[in-house]
């Protein structure tokens, strides 16, 4: 199990674009690895189709996307046409991201993605709907785990990446329901005396406690 801030494993895998070494494949980009329980299943098809539709948004943020399930590369290739049809894209186009084959569950176990309530026809465990965001330094920056019955919201994953990339550059934090362009909060570690220089348009929200920790500023 990898915790936030720890190095993400540099695994080897067979994928729909051939064998990869994760660090080599990622290069200097951000990365999203997301798992799904099984090919030719309804929720997974909608999810992978949505990632096709949003692929340009991931690219614009410098993010590479890679999927994973416990099925074979051959199964992934056969399933791809269903995904592309649901995404309403040209069936002749290749999938814009690779899918990892993890038939022996090695990566699923290593990353603690197994869902004990989901098994295949042979009784083998399947992966849950995990999402891992890895930064260019190969560190885990975000981890979300959904059960098989709950499809993910990839717009929220993009929003979270926007927050990670923004807060890496500036000493701010993004509040509840933040969207790019909204006001942000100055981090508590920034002393009040530095505010006029760093964030000259900051507003301190008055609170019953009298404490000055809600310091709101336009997004840098």
Q: Which domain holds residue 210?
A: 170-218
206 lies in the same domain as 120: no
Please tell me whether residues 13 and 88 are part of one structural domain: yes
Please check whether residue 126 lies inside any domain of the structure.
Answer: yes
Whether the predicted model's global pTM rises above the 0.85 cut: yes
Separation between Cα atoms, residue 117 and residue 136, nearest integer Å: 34
- Token pair of 169, please? 């550059």
Residues 106 and 181 in one domain: no
* CATH code of the domain containing 125: 3.40.30.10
Residues 185 and 111 in one domain: no
Distance CA 67, CA 15 (A): 9
The count of structural domains within the chain is: 2
Cα–Cα separations (whole angstroms), residue 185 to 96, 173, 174: 36, 5, 6
What's the Cα-to-Cα distance from 91 to each of 18, 36, 54, 192, rounded to whole Å? 20, 22, 17, 57
Among 101, 124, 152, residue at a domain's last position: 152
Q: How many CB atoms lie within 10 A of CB 64?
A: 17
Q: Clarify whether residues 34 and 120 are in a common domain.
A: yes
Q: Does 107 map to a domain? A: yes
Which residue in this structure is represented by tokens 């009298």? Answer: 210
Q: What phi and psi values does residue 144 have, to the nearest 5 degrees?
A: -130, 140
With contact defined as beta carbons under 8 Å apart, do 66 and 96 qualify? no
Mean pLDDT of 37-54: 96
Residue 157 lies in a domain: no
Would you please indicate which residues are annotated as catalytic (active-site) residues?
A: 44
Same domain, 41 and 109: yes
Structural domain ending residue among the three candidates 152, 179, 198: 152
What tens digit of pLDDT does each residue of 154-208 get?
999 999 999 999 999 999 999 999 999 999 999 999 999 999 999 999 999 999 9
Task: Please provide the average confidence, as pLDDT, over all residues in the chain.
Answer: 94
Write down the pLDDT at residue 33: 98
């Amino acid at each position: 199990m990898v915790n936030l801030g720890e190095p993400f494993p540099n695994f080897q895998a067979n994928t729909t674009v051939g064998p990869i070494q994760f660090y080599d494949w990622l290069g200097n980009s951000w990365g999203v690895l997301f798992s799904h329980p099984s090919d030719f299943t309804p929720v997974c098809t909608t999810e992978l189709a949505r990632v096709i539709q949003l692929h340009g948004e991931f690219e614009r943020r410098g993010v590479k996307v890679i999927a994973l399930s416990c099925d074979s590369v051959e199964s992934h290739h056969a399933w791809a046409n269903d995904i592309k049809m649901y995404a309403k894209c040209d069936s002749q186009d290749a999938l814009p991201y690779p899918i990892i084959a993890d038939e022996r569950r090695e990566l699923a176990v290593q990353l603690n993605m197994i869902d004990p309530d989901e098994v295949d026809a042979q009784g083998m465990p399947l992966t849950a709907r995990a999402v891992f965001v890895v930064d260019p330094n190969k560190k885990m920056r975000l981890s979300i785990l959904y059960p098989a019955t709950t499809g993910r919201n990839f717009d929220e994953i993009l929003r979270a990446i926007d927050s990670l990339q923004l807060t890496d550059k500036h000493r701010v934090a993004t509040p509840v329901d933040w969207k790019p362009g909204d006001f942000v909060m100055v981090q508590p570690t920034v002393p009040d005396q530095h505010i006029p220089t760093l964030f000259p348009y900051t507003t301190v929200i008055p609170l019953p406690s009298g404490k000055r920790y809600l310091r709101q500023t336009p997004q840098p």
